[in-house]
Amino acid sequence: MQTTTPEQIRAAKTYTNALMALSQVAFSGVERLAALNLNVARAALEDGISASNRLMQVKDISELKDLQGSISAPATEHCAAYFRSVQEIAGESQQQIAQIMTSYLATLGFDAAAKAGTNAGFDMFSKFVKETNSMFEANAKAVGDATTKMMAPVTSHPKKAA
């Protein structure tokens, strides 16, 4: 028959507590992302309906050009705000995970190595998120420029009088 020592019980309890804390951080992050996605979807639907209604009321090309600018700029801003919010949620979750892992590894005697590893991981993750955000902003600008170029032929040729 195998016996369990008090040290093994403490280690199992520490492991279980760390696992539960990590699960809470993960579920909290997922919950925040779901709420963010729901709000963004709701806003996009409302903006789409508004844009459709405004599009049906356009009477000439100049109004169409003005409408295009008034629709694309806020949409780009909403996308950038969404990615900033995702970055914030991911960053906060990563910090919480780093704190939990540092604490857990410290109880096992890996104090200095734990801090160095979690900080390096967080720095690498932060760099990745910033690069992704920069890439999105560049793509959003390119889409805006392409849309402007596509609209230029339509708006530069006024309708000839018959």
- Give the model confidence (pLDDT) of 7-27 as tens digits: 888 878 888 888 899 899 999
* Rounded distance between C-alpha atoms, residue 133 and residue 82, angstroms: 10
Any domain includes 47: yes
**pLDDT tens sequence across 102-158:** 887 777 776 655 556 656 666 666 666 667 666 666 766 676 676 666 666 555 555
Q: Six-digit token pair at 109?
A: 């005697």
Alpha-carbon distance of 122 to 101, in angstroms, equals 12
The structure tokens 């704190």 sit at 99
The domain in which residue 57 lies consists of 35-155
Comparing CA positions, the residue from 122, 123, 103, 126 lying closest to residue 114 is: 103
Look at residue 121 in the predicted model and tell me its pLDDT.
63
* Residue 132 located in a structural domain: yes
- pTM metric for this prediction: 0.60
Please report whether residue 67 resides in a domain: yes
13 assigned to some structural domain:
no
In a domain, 150, yes or no: yes
Which tokens in the block code for residue 154?
């339509």
Tokens at residue 36, please? 């963010």
Residue 7 in any domain: the answer is no
Q: How many domains does the chain have?
A: 1
73 pLDDT higher than 70: yes
Residue 23 in any domain: the answer is: no
How much is the pLDDT for 154?
52
What is the spatial distance between Cα 103 and Cα 17, in angstroms, rounded to a whole number?
11
Q: For residue 141, is it within any domain?
A: yes
